[in-house]
Amino acid sequence: MFQATYILLFFSVLSSFLPHGTAAFNLTLPGQHPDPEAVATQVHRRVNASMGRREMLRLSEKDVASCLTGNPIDDCWKCDPDWANNRQRLADCGIGFGQNAKGGKGGEFYIVTDSSDEDPVNPKPGTLRYAVIRNEPLWIVFPSNMMIKLSQELIFNSYKTIDGRGADVHIVGGGCITLQYISNVIIHNIHIHHCHPSEHYGYRTESDGDGISIFSSRDIWIDHCTLSRCKDGLIDAVMGSTAITISNNHFSHHNDVMLLGHSDHYLPDSAMQVTIAFNHFGENLVQRMPRCRLGYIHVVNNDFTRWEMYAIGGSGRPTINSQGNRYTAPEDPYAKQITKRLDAGEGEWSGWNWRSEGDVMLNGAFFVASGGEAGTDYQNAYSVEPKNVDRISLLTMSAGVLGVARDNNLGMWTRGANDGGVYFSDTGPEYTDDMSQSTMPLPPSRIFPLLSAFLALLCLLFHTVTLTTLL
């Protein structure tokens, strides 16, 4: 009798810890690729194919070759003279871990006609906030230059594309962009800067003031954006987020640039996979380009033109695959090292898998590698001779918001269903590296209901056995 009672008590106590325990055991996330080295290989093949095509056409078809850069993302859509009428083709141009992000592809076009953000709870039709909270897929465009000053963080629903091509769009203010518990978002060709913490309607804590906050989300692609001067990070991805590509962006004037991972002990972040490609890390950046915790991070063909503390940092045993980047160290003789291990001694971090291949180190920059020997998949992932890394200038020359001539040509679209002009159909301070832990709640466990039901049945079984024994 007492033995059965103790068993029941044990499972009752265990059930009380389930919200935390299941979060730790949920390591297989939707969107996680089973072979990250194969994804790295595919990125290089795409670059090589674009470079090869550019060289072949350079003499034979000068008009076409003039728009080709070897950047596989840009070459996928920019050479189309009618790109304004084929905007959704962009969704097929992604690379890396976030290449399956479809955004609003297949949905209607939404034209932002109102730059205000006066009522976050009941936003007006025509505003950006009204679009991003819709349930249906939307491809969001802008008819003119806009400065959108957010009153609170801009929380998205899934299947949205923000497409700033053809206009000069700035997002500033409270928040700014929050992608939480969602998937399939593309953010393309907008300025994001001067973001600060803000309150939010409902039961939510104050936002951190990130430029873009990715929280327990997947299939996210951030491309050709210009980010600077935010209160916290420019881009932070935490709490089990995965399948992310950050490409063709320009970062400047910031301390903590990019954080990947919630904490060293939050095991779902072990499934995080991020591609960082063709970006320009520009002037007045200090650290975290990125700062990684767990997971697999592919840093490929980026241009790092100075840092003040370090470029790539990490803790918690992340895999960092650095290939074909250009690292230019600062003048400070004590800040030449590209890498920084945090909260770990050499006896621990010497086993972390941090690799460098084909990288160019300038002005005394050096990369401290660690971990075991690279496997065959990794050796095949980078097929370009290091001398060809000079092409980084070509791959990153258009990083940030594109200077596409704005002619207010949004494409030949017809008025959509709502008749309101909105929907259209398609024919200084001291620098530290202290982590600001998120105060947002843990994401809900995907297996909690199943385990709860299992334990309830188990408890019932023991109770039945106990009664049978007594009788």
pLDDT in tens, 366-378: 999 999 754 433 4
The least confident of 235-244, 347-356, 445-454 is: 445-454
**Which of helix, strand or coil describes residue 85?**
helix
386 versus 327: the higher-pLDDT residue is 327
Task: Return the CATH fold of 36-303+378-425.
Answer: Pectate Lyase C-like (2.160.20)
Q: Is the pTM of this model over 0.85?
A: no
Q: How far apart are CA 136 and CA 424, in angstroms?
A: 14
pLDDT for residue 62: 58
Neighbouring C-beta atoms of residue 337, cutoff 10 Å = 17
Residue tagged active-site, from 165, 288, 326, 355: 288
pLDDT digits (tens, 9 = 90+) for 145-203: 999 999 999 999 999 999 999 999 999 998 889 999 999 999 999 999 999 887 766 65
The HSE-up count of residue 385 (CA atoms within 13 Å, CB side) is 2
The least confident of 59-68, 156-165, 242-251, 310-319 is: 59-68
pLDDT for residue 205: 65
Does position 209 have pLDDT exceeding 60, yes or no?
Answer: yes
Q: How far apart are CA 47 and CA 76, in angstroms?
A: 11
**Closest CA relative to residue 406, chosen from 209, 226, 146, 196:** 146
Please, are residues 218 and 99 in contact by the beta-carbon 8 Å criterion? no
Q: How far apart are CA 100 and CA 32, in angstroms?
A: 11
Please, are residues 260 and 274 in contact by the beta-carbon 8 Å criterion? yes
Does position 228 have pLDDT exceeding 80, yes or no?
Answer: yes
pLDDT digits (tens, 9 = 90+) for 390-424: 689 999 999 999 974 333 344 433 222 222 223 33
pLDDT for residue 374: 47
The least confident of 278-292, 301-315, 385-399, 430-444 is: 430-444
Does position 433 have pLDDT exceeding 90, yes or no?
Answer: no
Q: How far apart are CA 68 and CA 88, in angstroms?
A: 20
Contacts 24+ apart (CB under 8 A), 340-348: 340/287, 340/309, 340/310, 340/312, 340/313, 340/314, 341/313, 341/314, 341/315, 342/291, 342/313, 342/314, 342/315, 342/433, 343/264, 343/315, 344/315
**Closest CA relative to residue 99, chosen from 108, 90, 87, 110:** 90
Under DSSP, the state recorded for 404 is P
Is 291 a catalytic site residue? no
Task: Give the domain ranges of the chain.
Answer: 2-26+445-470, 36-303+378-425
The pLDDT-based confidence of 233 (bands split at 50, 70, 90) is confident
Rounding to the nearest 10 degrees, give the CA dihedral for residues 117, 119, 125, 128.
30
Please, are residues 155 and 182 in contact by the beta-carbon 8 Å criterion? no
Mean pLDDT of the chain: 79
